[in-house]
Amino acid sequence: MYLPRALLSKLYLNLLNTRHPLSPPVLILVALEPDALCACRILTRLFKHDYIPHKIQPVAGYADLERVGRELVAPMMDSRGGAGGVVVCLGVGGMADLGTVLGLESEEEDDGTPAFGGVEVWVVDSHRPWNLNNVFGGFPLEPETEEATSYAARTPAGVRAGCIERAYRPGKGGIVVFDDGDIEDELGKEREAYLALVDMPEVEDDGEDLGDSDEDEDDDNNDESDVEEPPVLAEKVSRAGKKRKSWDFLEEDSEEDDDRPRQRRRSNSSTPIPDSPRRPAQRGLMSLRDEAVFSSDALEPPPAAQPSQAPSARTLRRRLLRLRRKNEAILREYYQLGTSYSEPVSSMMYSLASELGREDNDLLWMAIVGVTSMELYGRSSAGIAVPVRGSEARPASGWMGLRGARIRQLLRDEVRRLNPPEVGNGRVLPENTGIIPTTARSPEDTSIRLSPEPKFLLIRHWSLYDSMLHSPYLFSRLKTWSETGLKRLHKLLAKMGVSLVQCKQSYAHMDMMLKRELRTKLLKYASLYNLDELVPTIDTDGKDRGGAKDGWGFVRSWGWRATLSAQDVGVVIGALLEVGKNTTASLSSSSSSSSSSSSSDPNSSAAPSQDLSAAASEPASAEWIPRFWDAYDALEDIEALKAGLPTAQFLHKAIFTTGTTVLKKKQISHLRAFRMCVVKDSPDAALFNHPGALTKLALWIGEALAEQEREASGGRLAHGGRGTPLVVASLDEKRGVYVVVGTGGGGGPDTAFRDREAARRRAAAREEKARAREEARKVKEKLREEKRAARRRLRDEAGKRGGGEGEGEDAEEEDEDEDETESEESEEDDDDDESDLEEENATRGRGYGLNRFGTAFQEVVAETNARVRIDSFEHCVVEVKKEDLGGFLESLSMKAVVG
């Protein structure tokens, strides 16, 4: 079941009102990603404020989630001796059937164990598509009675079609999905199909061709064997609250004697496959028609006096199968759209705090960092994909399209509300003149400010040269992986009047005049190097588009101790999760000693030590989860955050060096559906055994390839405005596996995730146009009738005078009427064509451009004997056995990897 956005605080307030000293602590399951970590910080701050005990449990993947379900969640059920409670999933499990994964619903049919056992699971996740069992099911059914036998009748009070209403009373347990607006606005067709399937009786489908519905009428008269069938159908009906045999939405039906690939996929994959909807017990086909239809008397030939007979059992079976296949196809199509991302989890948690009236600067900063981290990891409405930049990009392109623009604008408005500008002294703030703030305004300053941040990396904590050199934007536009690109960068700095000596010293200690003029010079020369988006625009009066300040970043100060941007914090937190603070402690000396050489030779980087290589080969759960706590502490400890800056710099030097090597040595292969490269000989290869670091590397390379394609094709990207999908694999020598990540080309689904308000306005305009057209048609018809009546009067008068022109006038009138009718029909056809075109674009846009690597991976594993482990919450990340990579990629190249 799902909680609408309008009732976001309902469950929290109920939790607050029902807590007592003996209540079990709330269990918070958190994904190992910056956005979920920031959301956890917001939620725990709310819990601490309200004295709600809680426990945080990091979760690395689906296997870890199943373990947590066995060890922590299942013992909470009252049927197993627990006292119930609440489990909150932040960035965890939105694409999995949590009732099964966490052990809250038994798959056995006769154990009599009640579902959920008083455990309520809150799911706040930005991954899409949703698992529809969580969204429209996921609640304990009411006891079956003679009056309540259907799924809808046994739904708990206050839940209608899976939607929680104000009358809902928590306490019995279930799975509650927090809706950010997508479910209400976009899943209407899937909701109808799901609810239709849960009430359907079980009928064995042998794959026969059902043909057209008209054939059913012939079957009524010709088929005499249907009398034997109703008992067989009745035996297929499942019991209450249990699952029907699940079907796989990610692959077509296969032959029964060819099940080895399917078994191999299940044994090597921890990713739950979407199951069929649950439904209560039925009485076979009796629930669809009167019992008399299926009685032996009803199946006898009707008496002569009876005009018609009831449809035969075979006809009803065929109709039922046809309807079930239709609804299954709707759900299958939804699951095969591809992966994407919706509103960040941290933004949803800040909305909850705002509903409760608890918003402050600390919570706002967590939300800003979480949203910014989504951009850094390429998580957009197109799934994990490279950003689409340049004049070719539509207004809706970029991170999250129009929704992302709305979220950023709301965050800017919150910054202005909670941090009013200084007034009364008459001076202009430095950031309003284009200067990047690097210090606080006072020793007690902890405010959040808007800043015209350029697309540089860690500029406050690096030299200007290193910051520009390691920027992914400049990496792709200036092609700094080549000698020509480096010369282009040097030439840009020379035109700006900045010497290499000056730009290689720390930015904080650069000449103040250079920092004041930096933005103006960048604007002056950026267009010469195709860098139009390098810095955000700013008007001469210090305002941008009426104060909107589109493209501006966020900066926060901690007194004199530090001033960091949200991007800086996101980069550091991500590096702590991917590399680890303790792992790089021994690398600090080598990194600092090589920093000067990397400035002179940008292709050089500190080689990882043996400690790093050994640590990178440990099991993921043992290695990654301790890093979570380092990153968790760093979010609120500014000294720990500053200590993580060398880690972030080291990681991005390795990304730059590896990306440069791949591009210079042309290690990118062109396959049928995507490009691919393998990272195995780099001295920093051990770093990229973490999916997050490998994803960042893939995005760097992918953006550079997209820019190359744009230049080669005269300024336009291939594949309908998207870049070519990219697969990057990194070899983990100790475990003997390749970590594989697939990134999309980006830019495609902006039409699908367009502004809903604009869509509603277009729908209202079409309705108004149709209404006006109908009124105009009625007026024209009335005028036409008046003209006909006038002609008849004139014709009658002429006939009385003895004229013989009536037939000719009748033919002329008919021709005029036909011309008018044809003209109206032509106008209606044009309108219908326009409406059909919009409908086609909307249908195409829904899945257009989405990252389908997750679906393609599942299909490849089902068809081959490749040993693959799919355990990440990012379905475009898999692990492939070293020996099986070649066959895996060969089969993958034949799949559609982008919608």
pLDDT given at position 288: 33
- Above 90 in pLDDT, residue 4? yes
Q: For 23-38, what is each residue's pLDDT tens digit?
A: 899 999 999 999 999 9
pLDDT-derived band at 880 (thresholds 50, 70, 90) equals very high
pLDDT given at position 363: 96
- Above 90 in pLDDT, residue 109? no
Task: Tell me the two tokens of residue 787.
Answer: 């003209």
- Above 90 in pLDDT, residue 746? no
Count Cβ atoms within 10 A of the Cβ of residue 213 and give its class: 0-12 exposed, 13-18 middle, 19 or more buried: exposed
- Above 80 in pLDDT, residue 19? yes
* Mean pLDDT of the 611-638 span: 71
Q: For 314-340, what is each residue's pLDDT tens digit?
A: 888 888 888 988 999 999 999 988 888
pLDDT given at position 192: 92
Tell which CATH architecture fits domain 2-180.
3-Layer(aba) Sandwich (3.40)
Q: For 682-709, what is each residue's pLDDT tens digit?
A: 788 888 999 999 999 999 999 888 888 8
**Angstrom distance (rounded) from CA 414 to CA 361:** 9
- Above 80 in pLDDT, residue 292? no
Residue 655, helix vs strand vs coil: helix
What is the pLDDT of the chain when averaged over all its residues? 77
What is the rounded radius of gyration, in angstroms, for the C-alpha atoms of the chain?
A: 32
Q: For 137-151, what is each residue's pLDDT tens digit?
A: 988 888 877 777 777
pLDDT-derived band at 604 (thresholds 50, 70, 90) equals very low
Task: Tell me the two tokens of residue 546.
Answer: 């009426």
* Mean pLDDT of the 661-666 span: 90
pLDDT given at position 714: 64
Higher pLDDT, 389 or 833: 389
Higher pLDDT, 7 or 788: 7
Closest by CA position to 529, among listed 479, 567, 566:
479
pLDDT-derived band at 580 (thresholds 50, 70, 90) equals confident
Q: Which of 229-233, 645-649, 862-866 shows the lowest per-residue confidence on average (mean pLDDT)?
A: 229-233
**Angstrom distance (rounded) from CA 327 to CA 329:** 5
Given CA atoms 93, 99, 103, 107 in this order, what sign does their dihedral have?
negative
pLDDT given at position 899: 67
- Above 50 in pLDDT, residue 366? yes
Kindly write down the DSSP assignment for every residue of 679-704, as one continuous string. E-SSTTGGGGGSHHHHHHHHHHHHHH
Tokens 């290869």, residue located? 685
pLDDT-derived band at 868 (thresholds 50, 70, 90) equals very high
pLDDT given at position 106: 67
* Mean pLDDT of the 798-818 span: 59
φ/ψ of residue 280, rounded to 5: -75, 170
pLDDT given at position 888: 92
* Mean pLDDT of the 767-776 span: 84
pLDDT given at position 589: 41
Report the half-sphere exposure of 145 (CA within 13 A, side-chain side). 8
Given CA atoms 704, 707, 713, 719 in this order, what sign does their dihedral have?
positive
Q: For 309-319, what is each residue's pLDDT tens digit?
A: 777 888 888 88
**Angstrom distance (rounded) from CA 345 to CA 374:** 10
Q: Which of 139-148, 372-381, 510-519, 669-678 shows the lowest per-residue confidence on average (mean pLDDT)?
A: 139-148
pLDDT given at position 349: 96
Domain ranges of the chain: 2-180, 215-314, 345-662, 756-845
pLDDT > 70 fraction of the chain, expressed in percent and rounded:
71
pLDDT given at position 73: 94
pLDDT given at position 148: 74
Please tell me whether the peptide bond between 230 and the residue prior to it is cis, using omega within 30 degrees of 0.
no
Give pTM, 2 decimals.
Answer: 0.79
Asked if residue 451 lies in contact with residue 515, where contact means CB atoms within 8 angstroms, the answer is: no
pLDDT-derived band at 178 (thresholds 50, 70, 90) equals very high
Higher pLDDT, 436 or 229: 436
pLDDT-derived band at 814 (thresholds 50, 70, 90) equals low
- Above 70 in pLDDT, residue 844? no
Q: For 112-139, what is each residue's pLDDT tens digit?
A: 567 888 999 999 999 999 999 999 998 8
- Above 80 in pLDDT, residue 794? yes
Q: Where are the beta strands (DSSP E) in 79-207?
A: 85-90, 119-124, 127-128, 159-160, 163-164, 174-178
Q: For 507-566, what is each residue's pLDDT tens digit?
A: 888 888 888 888 888 888 888 888 888 888 765 444 444 456 777 889 999 999 999 999
**Angstrom distance (rounded) from CA 245 to CA 715:** 51
pLDDT > 90 fraction of the chain, expressed in percent and rounded:
37
Closest by CA position to 762, among listed 838, 829, 841:
838
Q: For 386-439, what is each residue's pLDDT tens digit?
A: 876 554 444 444 567 778 888 999 999 999 999 887 654 556 666 666 788 888
Q: Which of 625-634, 734-743, 797-806 shows the lowest per-residue confidence on average (mean pLDDT)?
A: 797-806
pLDDT given at position 567: 94
Higher pLDDT, 246 or 715: 715
- Above 60 in pLDDT, residue 265? no
pLDDT-derived band at 608 (thresholds 50, 70, 90) equals very low
Count Cβ atoms within 10 A of the Cβ of residue 596 and give its class: 0-12 exposed, 13-18 middle, 19 or more buried: exposed
Asked if residue 654 lies in contact with residue 878, where contact means CB atoms within 8 angstroms, the answer is: no
pLDDT given at position 596: 38
pLDDT given at position 360: 94
Higher pLDDT, 680 or 899: 680
**Angstrom distance (rounded) from CA 383 to CA 725:** 12
